């Protein structure tokens, strides 16, 4: 059977600060049909990283235990790097009346030159620890660790727009990690690059957020024969599972390339708007997905080019609709 599974984090929320029941429905009739006609079933893992990893046989009771850094590094570089890896992503901390709120790289418009300069400086700051900093993508920074971190880190998507004091590292080496983060913040605060950003009305990159620690897992099994993904995690998992993986083309091209069995399509474009509760941006992206994907795929289902479509919203459920 030609089955296409779409994993789209943010498709059905969450929407911080909004009552989902009161939100206006976006103008997406094809999506509405797929959801209304689809058979809904629960899946054991909720959340984008947890659900996508679980589809490839990587399970964790706590999302903090998923080796996201090693997997996205493989997705970003096509290099299966050995050893322990940690995401050390650039963020902006902004004070409100009571807390420091975190904003991730999606809100910062970081250039490749800025990423190179800051990761080079941070590598010097932590040279005695033997850390290897890399920034293959401006908004995703990596550290190759000399030893396991012996701490637990909250995944960055769970902290976006929230008070950071509730999500600081815990565990055996928590105090050391708090100190290391304070050192990074002090160094970044005085960096001329951030002075220039503020002079031009851009938020400073005034902290980093560690998360996703781990090694590349073994025994990964692919749920699909082929995968198209615009998310580094999906690309990394596809490469690790040794299946064909590529960036998403236009729908007609993808439909022509589908194998005779199950395939996957990972689209991350809704996630930022969902995490920040930006309903207007979310509705605009849904409309774009409606034209680019939902309407063409519904047409392919009706004319027999597809036998079934599965919609994963990374919310703990999947909707499956057949011919």
Do the Cβ atoms of 162 and 100 come closer than 8 Å? no
Residue 46 has a pLDDT of 78
Instruction: Give the span between the Cα atoms of 170 and 151, in whole angstroms.
Output: 6
Mean pLDDT of the chain: 94
Longest dimension (CA), the chain: 62
Residue 20 has a pLDDT of 64
Q: What is the pLDDT of residues 210-243, one digit of tens each?
A: 999 999 999 899 999 999 999 999 999 999 999 9
Look at residue 289 and tell me whether its pLDDT is greater than 70: yes
Collapse the DSSP code of 16 into the 3-class scheme (helix H, G, I; strand E, B; otherwise coil) and give the result. coil
Average pLDDT over residues 284-313: 96
Instruction: Give the span between the Cα atoms of 266 and 167, in whole angstroms.
Output: 28
Rg (C-alpha) for the chain, rounded Å, is 20
Residue 61 has a pLDDT of 87
**What pTM value is reported for the model?**
0.95
Q: Residue 167: phi, psi to the nearest 5?
A: -130, 20
Count CB atoms within 10 A of the CB of residue 235.
23
Residue 19 has a pLDDT of 66
Residue 18 has a pLDDT of 66
Do the Cβ atoms of 286 and 24 come closer than 8 Å? no
Instruction: Give the span between the Cα atoms of 26 and 305, in whole angstroms.
Output: 27
Look at residue 263 and tell me whether its pLDDT is greater than 80: yes
Look at residue 124 and tell me whether its pLDDT is greater than 80: yes
Share of the chain above pLDDT 70, in %: 97
Residue 136 has a pLDDT of 98
Q: What is the pLDDT of residues 52-103, one digit of tens each?
A: 999 999 999 899 999 999 999 999 999 999 999 999 999 999 998 889 999 9
Q: What is the pLDDT of residues 8-42, one digit of tens each?
A: 999 987 777 666 666 667 789 999 999 999 899 99
Q: Which of 166, 232, 212 is nearest to 9 (CA)?
A: 232
Look at residue 166 and tell me whether its pLDDT is greater than 70: yes
């Amino acid at each position: 059977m030609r089955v296409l599974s779409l994993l789209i984090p943010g498709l059905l929320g969450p929407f911080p600060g909004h009552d989902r029941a009161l939100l206006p429905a976006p103008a997406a009739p094809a999506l509405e049909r797929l959801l209304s006609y689809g058979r809904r079933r629960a899946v054991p893992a909720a959340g984008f990283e947890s659900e996508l990893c679980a589809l490839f046989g990587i399970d964790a009771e706590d999302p903090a235990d998923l080796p996201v850094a090693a997997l996205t590094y493989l997705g970003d570089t096509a290099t299966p790097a050995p050893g322990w890896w940690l995401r050390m992503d650039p963020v902006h901390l902004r004070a409100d009346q009571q807390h420091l709120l975190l904003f991730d790289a999606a809100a910062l418009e970081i250039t490749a030159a800025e990423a190179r300069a800051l990761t080079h400086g941070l590598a010097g700051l932590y040279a005695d620890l033997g850390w290897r900093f890399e920034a293959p993508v401006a908004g995703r920074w990596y550290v190759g660790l000399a030893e396991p971190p012996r701490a637990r880190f909250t995944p960055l998507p769970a902290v976006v727009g929230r008070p950071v004091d509730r999500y600081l590292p815990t565990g055996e080496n928590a105090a050391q990690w708090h100190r290391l983060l304070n050192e990074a913040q002090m160094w970044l605060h005085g960096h001329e690059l951030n002075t220039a950003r503020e002079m031009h009305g851009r938020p400073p990159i005034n902290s980093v957020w560690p998360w996703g620690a781990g090694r590349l897992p073994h025994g990964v099994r692919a749920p699909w024969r082929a995968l198209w993904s615009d998310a580094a995690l999906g690309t990394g998992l596809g490469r690790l599972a040794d299946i064909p993986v590529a960036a998403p083309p236009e729908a007609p091209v993808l439909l022509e390339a589908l194998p005779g069995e199950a395939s996957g399509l990972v689209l991350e474009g809704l996630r930022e708007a969902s995490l920040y509760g930006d309903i207007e941006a979310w509705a605009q992206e849904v409309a774009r997905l409606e034209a680019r994907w939902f309407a063409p795929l519904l047409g392919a289902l009706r004319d027999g080019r597809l036998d079934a479509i599965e919609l994963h919203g990374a919310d703990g459920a999947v909707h499956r609709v057949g011919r």
